[in-house]
Amino acid sequence: MSTREIVIHGPALTPSELPTVLTVAGSDSSGGAGIEADLKTISAHGSYGLTCITALTAQNTTGVESISFTDRATLDNILEQNFKDVKVDVVKTGLMTLDAVNALDLALSKYHVGKPLVIDPVMVASTGAQLSGEDVLKVAVEKLFKRATLITPNVPETKKLLGLYDDEFEIDGPDSMSKAARIIHEKTGCLNVLVKGGHCLEKSDNAKYLTDVLYTSANDTISIFRSTAIDSQNTHGTGCTLASAISANLASGLSLVGSIESAIRYVHSAILSAPQLGHGHGPLNHVFHISSPALSTFSVSNAPFIEGHFVDYLISHPAVKPAWNGYVNHPFVAQLAEGTLPYSSFLQFVSQDYPYLVNYARIHSIAASVAPDMACIDREIAILTEIKHELGEHAKRLAAKGVVELESLQMNATCKAYCDYLTEVAKGGDWLEINVAMSPCLLGYYQAAKNVSAKDGIRSEYKEWLDTYTSESYLGAVNKGKQTLEKHSVGISYEKAQKLVKIFADVCLLEENFWSSALHETA
């Protein structure tokens, strides 16, 4: 084991003051909307985010599975602890409950009078799930809207608000959106209303445009924000993101119009650069403009796995997985555990495994000759000792059936193809390639035996075989083999990794074929 010392010098930085935004909203377990989107957005805008989580959801990009709401006492306590300790510049709301509305109303009266409040009246998720009811909306209008600097309803939410006053009409463009914004201001007392037009796109010259309309009460002005619509499934959390971006901009001192324009540009870019995550409405890329500080100091490895996860990478690789699963869940082992495997098939396996193990020993001898260090040579010697022991056990099984001339055992076509492949790798490959080629045998026998449960009363030879490959000593050998592969795969190139993937996949298929031949042939 080697030891190295890494001296880290602190950068020349000084303490800074960050604008603060408190988000009162639900949590999205998939990370694309709610509190999670809020915090990413607030941080991406150079502000500090505080939270009060109104609900926990179990959801992903395809829908909301369940919602658990936070109780009133906990909400009161969270808000009290935040407000009494940190100066909050802006409060932003998302998914609210009756308890959350009442708790926030009390906290705002105590700590946040006359300060910016941005309300995103979340009622329905982008996946279509109902998140909040009309009863909550009514209480929020009564207790929170009159305090609001800005509310940001989309078209369906705008219609719900108008419906509270029996003043519904079709909303299909800037004129009707402007009319709705003015009415909501007059009826609810909120200062400013931004009606988002994602649900009523405009068409012009074969292009689609998204229009958001802001009504500003201080100067009785309508501002229209028009941008090119983006055809994308990655729109989960756009409303939360927009409201949080506006809040962070207000906290930083931007004007209301400037805050909204900047936020719209941010959301637009976050959609365009969105990662393809999940199978439904995917999340935005909230950090498209931010680079990791590590990238300015360290070079990025082009290896497609994280150090210490090379074996996991091999087994889970799409090119390997089918062959690996077919191998470690093979009917040969399942029948052996059930006691239904014909003994002739087991004997056929042993009669082929004996010459295979002889060749296996030869390959490990070649590996010893190209090993990079004494530790690897010692490991090859230990493996050869184990192979010799296993050959002895096979010899006993075969002798019991009258097979004593072991050198006369002939490889069938399947066994020969397997051994020829390993020999080719050993002749042309380096030590790591050889060991990767040998590893499916080591790793797979343990996994295959572990995947089954031996029934009572099966043949003693079958139980002995299963016990051997699930024993603590064999598991120790498996773990040692994994550790060796992990150590020597550090720093390999992408091209090298792909070569090793192919070798591993090829050998998994050869192992599967080996057991299949035992089922279909008799000794």
Higher pLDDT, 127 or 428: 428
User: Cα separation of 77 and 85, whole Å?
Assistant: 12
Do 418 and 480 lie in one domain? The reply is yes
Higher pLDDT, 518 or 296: 518
At residue 296 the predicted structure's pLDDT band, cuts being 50, 70 and 90, is low
pLDDT of residue 192: 96
Task: Let me know: does 479 contact 443? Beta carbons within 8 Å.
Answer: no
Chain centre distance of CA 406: 52
pLDDT of residue 523: 53
228 three-state secondary structure? strand
Higher pLDDT, 124 or 34: 34
Specify which of 88-102, 191-205, 217-231, 468-482 reaches the highest per-range mean pLDDT: 88-102
Cα separations in angstroms, 369 against 386, 401, 423: 18, 37, 14
Do 258 and 317 lie in one domain? The reply is no
pLDDT of residue 406: 75
Cα separations in angstroms, 301 against 58, 197, 443: 35, 44, 27
Which of 414, 432, 425, 420 is CA-nearest to residue 511?
414
Do 263 and 367 lie in one domain? The reply is no
210 three-state secondary structure? strand
Question: Would 207 be classed as within a structural domain?
Answer: yes
177 three-state secondary structure? helix
Q: What is the pLDDT of residues 440-465, one digit of tens each?
A: 999 999 999 999 988 888 998 899 88
What is the domain-level CATH number for residue 420?
A: 1.20.910.10
Question: Would 453 be classed as within a structural domain?
Answer: yes
pLDDT of residue 125: 52
pLDDT of residue 115: 95
pLDDT of residue 264: 95
Amino acid, res. 469: Y
What is the domain-level CATH number for residue 169?
A: 3.40.1190.20
| Domain end (from 273, 297, 322) | 273
Q: What are the E-state strand segments in 32-191? A: 48-60, 63-69, 90-93, 117-119, 150-151
Token pair belonging to 70 = 């936070």
User: Cα separation of 435 and 484, whole Å?
Assistant: 9
pLDDT of residue 383: 86
User: Cα separation of 136 and 434, whole Å?
Assistant: 66
Tell the residue number behind the tokens 């985010």, with chain if given: 49
At residue 298 the predicted structure's pLDDT band, cuts being 50, 70 and 90, is low
Question: Would 412 be classed as within a structural domain?
Answer: yes
Task: Let me know: does 147 contact 117? Beta carbons within 8 Å.
Answer: yes
User: Cα separation of 402 and 409, whole Å?
Assistant: 13
Which of 254, 251, 227 is CA-nearest to residue 238?
227
The average pLDDT across 283-294 equals 85
Task: Let me know: does 254 contact 262? Beta carbons within 8 Å.
Answer: yes
Do 261 and 325 lie in one domain? The reply is no
Tally Cβ neighbours within 10 Å of residue 516.
15
Do 322 and 265 lie in one domain? The reply is no
For residue 424, pLDDT over 50 is answered with: yes
pLDDT of residue 350: 86
Cα separations in angstroms, 218 against 115, 256, 261, 312: 16, 11, 18, 61
Q: What is the pLDDT of residues 41-72, one digit of tens each?
A: 999 999 999 999 999 999 999 999 999 999 99
Q: Which of 25-29, 206-210, 281-285 is predicted least confidently?
A: 206-210
Do 481 and 433 lie in one domain? The reply is yes
Do 224 and 347 lie in one domain? The reply is no
For residue 337, pLDDT over 50 is answered with: yes
Question: Would 361 be classed as within a structural domain?
Answer: yes
Q: What is the pLDDT of residues 227-285, one digit of tens each?
A: 888 888 998 999 999 999 999 999 999 999 999 999 999 999 999 999 889 999 999 99
Amino acid, res. 44: A
Do 233 and 366 lie in one domain? The reply is no
Do 238 and 324 lie in one domain? The reply is no
Question: Would 484 be classed as within a structural domain?
Answer: yes
- Residue 71 CB-half CA count within 13 A: 2
Do 421 and 501 lie in one domain? The reply is yes
Question: Would 433 be classed as within a structural domain?
Answer: yes
Tally Cβ neighbours within 10 Å of residue 453.
8
At residue 300 the predicted structure's pLDDT band, cuts being 50, 70 and 90, is low
Tell the residue number behind the tokens 């082929």, with chain if given: 352
Question: Would 334 be classed as within a structural domain?
Answer: yes
Average pLDDT, the chain: 90
Q: What are phi and psi of 154, to 5 degrees?
A: -85, -175
As a whole-number percent, the residues of the chain with pLDDT over 70 amount to 95
Higher pLDDT, 299 or 384: 384
User: Cα separation of 456 and 34, whole Å?
Assistant: 54
pLDDT of residue 255: 93
For residue 27, pLDDT over 80 is answered with: yes
Cα separations in angstroms, 472 against 300, 325, 469, 475, 485: 39, 23, 9, 5, 20
For residue 222, pLDDT over 50 is answered with: yes
User: Cα separation of 74 and 62, whole Å?
Assistant: 30
Q: Which residues contact 12 (CB under 8 A, 6 or more apart)?
A: none
User: Cα separation of 58 and 77, whole Å?
Assistant: 24
Q: Which residues contact 214 (CB under 8 A, 6 or more apart)?
A: 181, 192, 193, 194, 195, 222, 223, 224, 225, 256, 257, 260
pLDDT of residue 127: 47
pLDDT of residue 129: 52
At residue 399 the predicted structure's pLDDT band, cuts being 50, 70 and 90, is confident
| Domain end (from 246, 273, 300) | 273
Do 84 and 186 lie in one domain? The reply is yes
Amino acid, res. 165: Y
Domain that holds residue 359: 310-520
Q: Which residues contact 256 (CB under 8 A, 6 or more apart)?
A: 149, 150, 192, 214, 216, 250
The average pLDDT across 205-233 equals 90
At residue 205 the predicted structure's pLDDT band, cuts being 50, 70 and 90, is confident
Model pTM score: 0.71
At residue 13 the predicted structure's pLDDT band, cuts being 50, 70 and 90, is confident
The average pLDDT across 328-337 equals 95
339: left (phi over 0), alpha (psi -120 to 50) or beta: left
pLDDT of residue 408: 74
pLDDT of residue 329: 96
Do 241 and 329 lie in one domain? The reply is no
| Domain end (from 273, 288, 318) | 273
Domain count along the chain: 2
The residues carrying an active-site annotation are 441, 511
Higher pLDDT, 10 or 380: 380
Which of 54, 142, 62 is CA-nearest to residue 94?
54
Question: Would 505 be classed as within a structural domain?
Answer: yes
Q: What angle do CA 431, 434, 440 make, to 5 degrees?
A: 135
The average pLDDT across 502-507 equals 96
Q: What is the pLDDT of residues 126-172, one digit of tens each?
A: 544 556 678 899 999 999 999 999 999 999 999 999 999 888 888 98
User: Cα separation of 202 and 123, whole Å?
Assistant: 24
At residue 123 the predicted structure's pLDDT band, cuts being 50, 70 and 90, is low
